[in-house]
A and B are shown apart, each in its own frame.
Chain A
């Protein structure tokens, strides 16, 4: 409790160093403002890079197979999928789209006049079995049955007679039908009418951090004897993805000697490519944060050692009058704590101001208050570490100093 008794003399002593104390408070406040926002940005990026896409990523691979016009191309889509399924380690295969790979939003309309788009959503389409291959969870309604899905040529040539059955994500269903009557409803995209037959829990086209990432719909079409290039998806048995993908790619190439397999990637590799530049910029920000912490620590310990030098005589007197080494140590530690606390309080204001600026200029989200708490704790710890050296030197000042003239 003796430490609390010291607060008044500390404040009194600080009053005679107003300029230096103010500068230190200002520096800590600025550090806090920048640090809080940087931690927020970096943590947001890291969190985003772990957001699940809604498909069974650990078991899914992609083979982008491009047909060369004029080369020998005996394979058909149905045949291709069959040879891929019979490759060792492969559980299922489909032709179609998958998350984080050229996903694009298209407008959806609630009425056939298509005047005002109700929402823009990711459209995933593919061969029969696409949703099984992706591992989507139908939570309401029912899954596709092979008899109700249209033929691929009817879809592409615009010869559809009935609405195409689709699955919506819960997020998209909620946005289009806030009353919860999505099942059985009819909606429209640019060319087709669509009938909602079921709801899946999640399927993200991209992961930008926005809630609308999860606004997706899926439909399947029947493929057969067509010769089609594009995305061939593999679902492996658990834990066997690399070998299964390799085997499927080899089987697919053998069946289609006139195809070029321009990309053979696991979903994990796709994800890594997708977040490459975000994570790189995150690493730059971490480097900047480290520089900031080092500079602040330099400032704190520089001023503290100056003060210790300046007060050698006073410290000697206090020691001669009965203060223990521990008292002197605590004095400097408490002083530092008070200064940092002042800086943190001012820094919280600065942090919000900087956040407002970044929100306006770079569309950053609103800074939640617990980041400030993390920043405050970090600065308290940093301050205590920085002051420890000078404070120990102060505690080592012998009482005899008091008797000498400086």
Chain B
């Protein structure tokens, strides 16, 4: 029966080419707009590190004073220097990394080479293995290098291209903030989106150009800032030139915990640490800790830009309008077949059969609309990528969106077809056959 209905639908659409084309185009435009925005939303709220996101956790403790006006219950995102150091030394997680974003003046270790500012991430050895950073040349530094404040640097592929023309620069030296650093590795392009490990400068943007050992970086002159710093208390200059200031949070901290038991142990250790700090008088608040997994952390931070959420709503509004439009066209389309339907009814077809036949026709329009909508969505995403906004670069067409686009198109066409099909199935056979 289905095959027969398909055949009928095909013939009927061929007979009224203009109406069929209009319906297909309306659905295609709606699908194109909504799938574009859906794909952007999907990319922006996607998993930045598939495969590793389950084992990465973001510990937070609360060192703030009790009477901080306007303070929320959520502890600060980042750690103070002292807490970062203490948690780093806690050593019960299989891997952990303390880090901060910064920028530093760099030049090649040669006379008269020009100075330029480059962004850097100061971090500890486990960063690369924990986050699965791919290396092009050389390797990461070791925990031993961290402990000995070694003057080594890992370059991004882009910075290596800029300074050394892309060659294997391991062993070459750079002057960073007047100190000489040895290149120990070069990483391949790596920029997980959203940039979960440090959301202070926005969740979507460029990765840092180089990576330095955290404790080596602390030895450099502290005149170039420490990324966004959050301070409290009466001294507004707190931390101005001292990252070790007690009342300023600025260091990001991540741990890898491989089993639920490790997670539970770590959470207990955070509470215990907070209680101990409270006893020592450093913390004023009762233990207020968080240990969120990577994806929970992104959820809690609401990383999707508000303009994107608004545009997604609007795109679905457009789909709705396209559907109303399609309903109107389908009513016209099916009414036009009244004579034909009358004959089928007179020959014994049930109302249910007519309804099914019309719905199959709607489905065919949906499939066509979906197929035409796909290139439109692809075009839409291309347009999004041309926009000079930070999240634009990550807007790409995911294979899973193919299925969603087609499914959405067929579903919308069927929904739009229900009422016109019902009307068509109620056509009185006698009246139609008489007028033939």
The smallest C-beta distance from B67 to any residue of chain A, in angstroms, reads 13
The smallest C-beta distance from B347 to any residue of chain A, in angstroms, reads 22
The smallest C-beta distance from A271 to any residue of chain B, in angstroms, reads 14
Instruction: Provide the residues of chain B in CB contact with A303, threshold 8 Å.
Output: 328-329, 332
A-B contact pairs, 16 of them (CB 8 A): A19-B331, A23-B328, A38-B314, A67-B223, A190-B236, A258-B115, A260-B105, A276-B389, A281-B307, A284-B311, A288-B318, A295-B29, A295-B318, A299-B325, A306-B19, A309-B336
Q: A38-B314, A190-B236 are in contact. Are A287 and B306 (CB under 8 A)?
A: no
Instruction: Provide the residues of chain B in CB contact with A71, threshold 8 Å.
Output: 105, 115, 178
Q: Within 8 Å of chain A (Cβ to Cβ): is B317?
A: yes
- For A273-303 the 0/1 string (1 means CB < 8 A from B) is 0001100110111011001101110110111
Q: Which B residues, 320 to 337, have Cβ-Cβ distances below 8 Å to chain A?
A: 320-322, 324-325, 327-329, 331-333, 336
Q: Is the CB of B328 within 8 A of A24?
A: yes
Q: Is the CB of B389 within 8 A of A280?
A: yes
Q: Within 8 Å of chain B (Cβ to Cβ): is A4?
A: no
Give the contacting residue for A302; candidates B19, B177, B236; CB below 8 A: B19
> 7 extra interchain contacts, Cβ-Cβ under 8 A, other than A30-B321, A281-B387, A298-B325?
A20-B331, A23-B328, A276-B388, A280-B392, A281-B311, A302-B328, A362-B309
Q: Within 8 Å of chain A (Cβ to Cβ): is B279?
A: no
Q: From DSSP, what is the main secondary structure of chain B's interface residues?
A: helix
The smallest C-beta distance from B395 to any residue of chain A, in angstroms, reads 11
The smallest C-beta distance from B337 to any residue of chain A, in angstroms, reads 12
Instruction: Provide the residues of chain A in CB contact with B177, threshold 8 Å.
Output: 68-70
Query: CA separation between A31 and B25, bound complex, in Å?
Result: 17
* Interface residues on chain B, number (Cβ under 8 Å): 51
Q: From DSSP, what is the main secondary structure of chain A's interface residues?
A: helix
The smallest C-beta distance from A30 to any residue of chain B, in angstroms, reads 5
The smallest C-beta distance from B151 to any residue of chain A, in angstroms, reads 14
Instruction: Provide the residues of chain B in CB contact with A295, threshold 8 Å.
Output: 26, 29-30, 318, 321-322, 325
Interface centre among B115, B310, B380, B423 (most CB of A within 10 A): B115
Instruction: Provide the residues of chain B in CB contact with A38, threshold 8 Å.
Output: 314
Q: Within 8 Å of chain B (Cβ to Cβ): is A335?
A: no
Q: Which B residues, 359 to 415, have Cβ-Cβ distances below 8 Å to chain A?
A: 380, 383-384, 387-390, 392
Chain A's closest residue to B325 (CB) is: A299
Residues of A at the B interface (CB closer than 8 Å) are 19-20, 23-24, 26-27, 30-31, 34, 38, 66-71, 190-191, 258, 260, 262, 276-277, 280-281, 283-285, 287-288, 291-292, 294-296, 298-299, 301-303, 305-307, 309-310, 354, 358, 361-362
Give the contacting residue for B105; candidates A19, A34, A68; CB below 8 A: A68
Q: Is the CB of A27 within 8 A of B328?
A: yes
Give the contacting residue for A34; candidates B29, B317, B325; CB below 8 A: B317
Instruction: Provide the residues of chain A in CB contact with B237, threshold 8 Å.
Output: 191
Chain A's closest residue to B380 (CB) is: A287
Instruction: Provide the residues of chain B in CB contact with A30, threshold 8 Å.
Output: 317, 320-321, 324
Query: CA separation between A296 and B324, bound complex, in Å?
Result: 10
Instruction: Provide the residues of chain B in CB contact with A281, threshold 8 Å.
Output: 307, 311, 387, 389
- For B21-55 the 0/1 string (1 means CB < 8 A from A) is 01101100110110000000000000000000000
The smallest C-beta distance from A147 to any residue of chain B, in angstroms, reads 27
Instruction: Provide the residues of chain B in CB contact with A287, threshold 8 Å.
Output: 380, 383
Q: Is the CB of A298 within 8 A of B26?
A: yes
Q: Within 8 Å of chain A (Cβ to Cβ): is B264?
A: no
Q: Within 8 Å of chain A (Cβ to Cβ): is B221?
A: yes
